Amino acid sequence: MMMKSRLTLSFAALLLCSSALTAEDSPPAAAGWNAADWGVEGSDIPVDTEFRFGRLDNGVRYILRQNATPEGTALVRLHIGSGSLDETDSERGLAHFLEHMAFNGSKRVPEGEMVKLLEREGLSFGADTNATTSLETTTYMLNLPRNDEALLDTALMLMRETASELLIEQEAVERERGVILSERRDRNNYAYKQTIDELTFASPAARFIDRLPIGAIEVLESATAADLRGYYERTYVPENTVVVVVGDFPIATMEQLVHRHFAEWRGGPDPVEPETGPVDLTRRSETDIYVDPALSERVVVSSFGAWEDRPDSFAKRREDVLRQIGYAIVNRRLATLARGENAPFRSAGFGTGDIFEDGRMTRLVVDTADGEWRKGLAAATAELRRALAHGFSEAEVAEQLARLRSSLENATRSSETRTNSALVQSALALVEQQSVPSTPESALERFESYADAITPELTLAALLAEAAPLEDPMIRFQGRTEPAGGESALRSAWNELVALPILPPQTSEAAEFAYTDFGEPGTVVSDTRDERLGLRLIRFANGVMLNLKQTDIRKDQISFRLSLDGGNLLNTREDPLKTALVSSLPAGGLGKHSQDELETVLAGRTVRFSLSSTSDAFRFSGGTRPKDLELQMQLLAAAITDPGYRGEAIERYRRSLDEFFARLDATPGSAVSNSLGGILSDNDPRFTLQSREAFETLDFAKLRSDIADRLSHGAIELALVGDFDEDAAIAAVAQTLGALPPRETDFLPREEARQRVFTSQRISHRIMHRGEPDQALVRMTWPTTDDSDLGETLRLELLERVIRIALQDKLREELGKTYSPSASSSPTRTYPGYGTFSITASVDVSEVEATRAAIADLLSEFAERPLDVDLLDRAREPMLENYANMLKSLGGWMSLTDNAQSQSERLDRYFAAPAIIRAVTPEDIRQVARKYLAPGDAVEVIALPQTETGPAAAAADPVE
């Protein structure tokens, strides 16, 4: 089925698609390219010739691309052009149910063996083996960890099995039914329910509202194998199927294997494109109020317009750019208000999106603090009306053009190393949106052909041509309580606001970045190399450490990470929130620039100012480009030497507290995560959630006094990984961080702050949540150890993987009690002797005791019986593949380059780990399980609904 429609109710601005050349050019065609096969006949967008396109005689289409980023890997996708919209009334939920059945037996692969087969090949279930169902599509995904032709052959064999050879036996359906119902239960939370209300208000008669992929409970509880097979045979047909392979294989190999596995498939006709609407575009002046204790306050003002059929073309993409700039300017103005002092709202946005092919919707969305909807709506409405009436300034357009040009230039410089994932997304955009995949170079060329002609007048005209006027609009309110005055208050407030006079905008001059001189450049006093990894380790005279890893695995891209001594180890029992505001510092800007001013000053430059507090350091991290590396270093030095500490950042932080504390126990997961720290630490204030009052008293004056010494004197270690010139990088750091006054040369040990104990109270805690009455969560946590012993750390990680697989087999597949049971080993570097191992399962409230018993039985088997060798290998192989592929990404290199001087012993672990993993035996895993996972040593936390009564809701019972 040719996809022609999308639901885009998001108010985000349209993304600029990669595109190329002008209509007059005649570029070479890609191999196998036939525009009619993809519904883009007549498009003047030249296709990227590195793709290989094809259509088999039976109608199966394919898109192939040889690519080596990451080297030696590949992505395989099976795209079915049908989703939940293709269901009949009696099939609601079967598209998603069928997706699950793909893992439950086919003609060549017995039930339960597909995942095992892939695990033996090094693919992890969930991470590398997955599937997703949407309203319009179903996509199966395999991420291959190596470019072994036999593995690709296996992957495509499995995709073909999924496409046409599933058994769909009644016994398997019954087993999977519990998993489906569990997933539906887990997703049925406050956010999902408000989404249903929002969609229903927007389009109450539309068919798509009754076709959300999770389905109808009555269908899911009664569906038979015959029902599923009916949907399967009607929609999984060759004409409705696209195979995508992108990775490090020769094109000829990919194409041969696609033909081998899919050419003989015979199936029914291409299914008819389903109805989505109707959407009544004449609706006006309707109001909706939706209340839930977990929802923050939001007002959405919207209007409908007619859908426009705009096939992909040079003209369309140029118009999209104009509209994108217009929406971006409006949203930029709204962001300025949100960042200011005494801000009227937390955030706001304006945009237009299609409702399939039934219409389009323009929305103004305003998020406010509780009780401030009127104030927020007034400010956002005034700013929107001002923009639409008076238009935009040259400076505003120039800022957005700089951002677009920078993005396109960056994409062009790194086009040689586009990732498999990015190329798959480009291929699927052709399949689903009829957006022709083209090169970054051509996108930049076309942009430059018209960029100079873009004016404020053209931009405003393009926006007005698309945006539906907000006249007598629909108004929807959501929040914790109804607004005073109800629907009439909302409507009258809007009518009053649009009757007010429109004031002209105020303009301001753009400033220059004020931080370019940090004094005499620093001197390098130590310069060594780790030849094993090609790391260059520098120390400046002022104590700053610089670790460099030059690699061009991602052309023109640089990752950075700066660690500054401090972090959460500064928190004490007496002052447990000492570092809580650190992540809010970027919102306060710099001493000479507010955050909002920085956005303008740095427009078109690839730099980032973000800050977090990790366990033992303050961390700045992000990405930049070689041409912006010097500016990025200046920004980091300015952030350390002159943080802004502006009051508006504190205001924004405090406004966020309403939402956080309202959702504290809104779901079983949030209730457990927010209680667990105190339970495991015997209420040590450093690890226990503090009161709202304690958070509200925090301010920048105290933060400044608490961390000023660290910013001025704390040890700094900066890691740079990517495509840069080493000498240029050293010079950029010398002129900035290296030029700062002398600092401590090592991270402080803080031995007293590193003391952390695991509670001795091994009891079962019952905590209440305010979510759905059928939802419960069981979590068991055991104390383990720190990560100083590499062998023990790796054995614990293998145990985690083994138990995760066993939980999937037992709780999910065999018993059908939970959708995604999990296990996690967390040994720490920070706290000597401290680590945890946990098992978690979300279950129906009636299944709590049965789930506890099943977990206990599983652990007993691990402790008493020899571990199955195949189970260990299925856990081991993906772990080994992760190590084999670790240094094929900037993130993997950063994990080694970061702290390469302060924790140099960690480098040795990388080389030692694979041999240790291979040497682990089933008996080793059994002994680790017996050592750490004794049932009586666990702390159990069970989250139950507040309505639940009886023994299961007792405050605390001993673990059985």
Q: Which of 773, 930, 902, 778 has its CA nearest to residue 851? A: 778
What's the confidence (pLDDT) of residue 1? 58
Place of tokens 């220059």: 512
On whether the CB atoms of residues 190 and 153 are closer than 8 A, the answer is no
Poorest-pLDDT segment among 301-305, 465-469, 508-512, 909-913: 508-512
Average pLDDT over residues 555-564: 98
Q: Are strands 287-291 and 474-479 parallel, antiparallel or unpaired?
A: parallel
Does 421 have pLDDT greater than 80? yes
Pairwise CA distance, residues 869 & 859, whole Å: 17
Pairwise CA distance, residues 698 & 687, whole Å: 17
3-state secondary structure of 577: coil
Average pLDDT over residues 799-827: 87
End-to-end CA distance of the chain: 55
Average pLDDT over residues 66-88: 98
Percent of the chain clearing pLDDT 90 (strictly above): 91
Does 64 have pLDDT greater than 80? yes
Pairwise CA distance, residues 297 & 300, whole Å: 10
Average pLDDT over residues 936-953: 76
Average pLDDT over all residues of the chain: 94
What's the confidence (pLDDT) of residue 792? 98
Average pLDDT over residues 298-314: 97
Percent of the chain clearing pLDDT 70 (strictly above): 95
Q: At 473, list the tokens.
A: 């609009």
- pLDDT tens for 282-296 read 999 999 999 999 999
Ranges assigned E (strand) in 56-181: 61-66, 74-80, 129-133, 138-144
Average pLDDT over residues 596-609: 96
Place of tokens 């309580």: 481
Give the orientation angle of helix 790-807 with respect to helix 848-864, to 10 degrees.
Answer: 130
What's the confidence (pLDDT) of residue 872? 97
Ranges assigned E (strand) in 784-821: none
- pLDDT tens for 163-218 read 999 999 999 999 999 999 999 999 999 999 999 999 999 999 999 999 999 999 99
Pairwise CA distance, residues 733 & 366, whole Å: 42
- pLDDT tens for 376-408 read 999 999 999 999 999 999 999 999 999 999 999
- pLDDT tens for 1-44 read 555 445 554 433 322 233 222 333 445 668 899 999 999 999 99
- pLDDT tens for 206-232 read 999 999 999 999 999 999 999 999 999
Average pLDDT over residues 591-601: 96
Pairwise CA distance, residues 774 & 670, whole Å: 16
What's the confidence (pLDDT) of residue 28? 63
> How many helices, marked H, and strands, marked E, lie in the chain?
28, 24
Phi and psi torsions of 495, nearest 5°: -60, -40
What's the confidence (pLDDT) of residue 121? 95
Average pLDDT over residues 42-63: 97
Pairwise CA distance, residues 830 & 827, whole Å: 9
Q: At 685, list the tokens.
A: 């204030």
C-beta neighbour count of 13 within 10 angstroms: 21
What's the confidence (pLDDT) of residue 863? 86
What's the confidence (pLDDT) of residue 20? 29
Q: Could you give the dihedral angle defined by the CA atoms of residues 312, 318, 319 and 325, in that order, rounded to the nearest 10 degrees?
A: 130
What's the confidence (pLDDT) of residue 865? 86
What's the confidence (pLDDT) of residue 5? 47
- pLDDT tens for 859-892 read 998 888 889 999 999 999 999 999 999 999 999 9
On whether the CB atoms of residues 423 and 50 are closer than 8 A, the answer is no
